[in-house]
């Protein structure tokens, strides 16, 4: 296989660009900082045997999440992270996001995390992280009710399902309380996955999902740095990563071909999930209706 192309830009250094954000005409004026709504913190509560879930309230909470992210992304996945604080995964979006944490009750350690970028905060920064990887022009009519999920990770000793279910339950409640109905994000596939190397697994997973789980054409997007699928083996019998399989069970759709993220050495699939598309059993589990 030929080597992957050189990036057109350094992903880690790409700044947010206000041109990515296209709010409806009535909301295009900049929102004063004091008027930006901030979700009301929800008290820490038990979410399963031995774990609790809560929203970060202090910088120490955010730092704990960033340390876990660094451990998983750099330590396990070999990501090349440019960070201002050693041992922490930090980027320019973190200060604008809400951070969801799952802790081990006994040790107090953060063992799972998501970050959530709300529509109001996306307006402040000028884009979502996904905008830096994909042209999301076709999603402009969804943005006022759309949150971005990112930096999902779970500690290696706690990947039996309970932590991610606790995160999803808290996210569903957040969406319901704030009258938001759409979630987007970049779901990563390691370039070396299930024994396949150099992106062949990602290309094969894309081929499978492009025939079974594509979003309607009006929501499909284009990668800014495409994974060169046409030069890769797309015929491997490989399963998507567990997180992507979980999203699909919740009714998520794939928005287009994968982008290549050279910093994280992953192929990233753009995915969208609507609250209205939750299967009834998950709606009852997460929302009680």
Q: CA-CA distance, 79 to 89, in Å (whole number)?
A: 10
Q: Give the separation between CA 187 and CA 271, rounded to whole angstroms.
A: 7
pLDDT band at 195 (very low <50, low <70, confident <90, very high): confident
Alpha helices for the chain (secondary structure H)? 59-70, 119-125, 129-133, 162-177, 200-212, 242-249, 280-287
The pairs formed by 41-47 with CB atoms below 8 angstroms and a separation of 24 or more are 42/170, 42/173, 42/174, 44/103, 46/105, 47/102, 47/162, 47/166, 47/169, 47/170
pLDDT of residue 143: 97
Separation CA 13–CA 177 (nearest Å): 34
pLDDT of residue 45: 53
* Mean predicted lDDT score pLDDT of the chain: 86
Label residue 117 by pLDDT band (50, 70, 90): very high
Cβ contacts of residue 10 below 8 Å, gap of 6+? 263
Q: Is the pLDDT of residue 44 over 80?
A: no
What does the pLDDT look like over 241-265, one tens digit per residue?
Answer: 999 999 999 999 999 999 999 999 8
Number of H helices, E strands in the chain: 7, 11
Domain ranges of the chain: 40-287
Residue 274, strand partner residues? 182
Distance CA 202, CA 244 (A): 12
- Confidence (pLDDT) at 26: 39
pLDDT at residue 198 in the model: 85
Q: Reply yes or no on whether the pLDDT at 229 is more than 70.
A: yes
Q: What is the DSSP secondary structure assignment for residue 231, as one 8-state letter?
A: G
**What pTM was estimated for this model as a whole?**
0.84
Pick the CATH number of 40-287 from 3.40.50.12780, 3.30.2310.20, 3.40.630.30, 3.20.20.70: 3.40.630.30
**Number of CB atoms found within 10 A of residue 196's CB:** 19
pLDDT per residue as tens digits for the range 128-180 = 999 999 999 999 999 999 999 999 999 999 988 899 999 999 999 999 999 99
The lowest-confidence range among 41-45, 59-63, 179-183, 197-201 is 41-45
Strand partners, 184: 148, 272
Model confidence pLDDT, tens digit, residues 75-111: 998 999 999 999 999 999 999 999 999 999 999 999 9
- 3-class state of residue 140 by DSSP: helix
Exposure class string for 8-36: b at 16+ Cβ within 10 A, else e: eeebbebebeeebbeeeeeeeeeeeeeee
Helix (H, G, I), strand (E, B) or coil at 271: strand
């Amino acid at each position: 296989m030929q080597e992957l192309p050189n990036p057109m830009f350094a992903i880690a250094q790409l700044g947010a660009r206000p041109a990515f954000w296209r709010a409806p005409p009535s909301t295009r004026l900049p929102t004063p900082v004091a008027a930006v709504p901030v979700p009301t913190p929800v008290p820490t509560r038990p979410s399963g045997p031995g774990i609790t879930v809560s929203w970060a309230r202090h910088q120490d909470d955010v730092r704990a999440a960033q340390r876990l992210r660094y451990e998983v992304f750099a330590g396990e996945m070999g990501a090349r992270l440019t960070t201002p604080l050693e041992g922490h995964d930090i980027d320019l979006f973190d200060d604008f996001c809400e951070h969801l944490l799952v802790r081990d009750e006994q040790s107090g350690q953060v063992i799972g995390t998501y970050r959530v970028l709300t529509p109001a905060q996306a307006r402040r920064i000028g884009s979502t992280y996904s905008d830096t990887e994909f042209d999301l022009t076709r999603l402009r009519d969804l943005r006022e009710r759309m949150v971005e999920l990112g930096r999902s990770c779970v500690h290696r000793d706690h990947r039996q399902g309970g932590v991610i279910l606790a995160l999803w339950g808290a996210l569903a409640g957040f969406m319901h309380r704030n009258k938001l109905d759409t979630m987007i994000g970049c779901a990563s596939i390691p370039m070396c996955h299930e024994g396949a190397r150099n992106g062949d697994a990602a290309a094969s997973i894309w081929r499978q999902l492009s025939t079974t789980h594509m979003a309607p054409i009006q929501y499909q997007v284009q990668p800014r740095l495409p994974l060169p699928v046409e030069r890769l083996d797309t015929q491997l019998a490989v399963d998507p990563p567990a997180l992507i399989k979980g999203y699909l069970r919740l009714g998520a759709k794939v928005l287009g071909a994968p982008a290549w993220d050279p910093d994280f050495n992953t192929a990233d699939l753009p995915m969208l999930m609507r609250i209205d598309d939750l299967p009834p059993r998950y709606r009852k589990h997460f929302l009680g209706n």
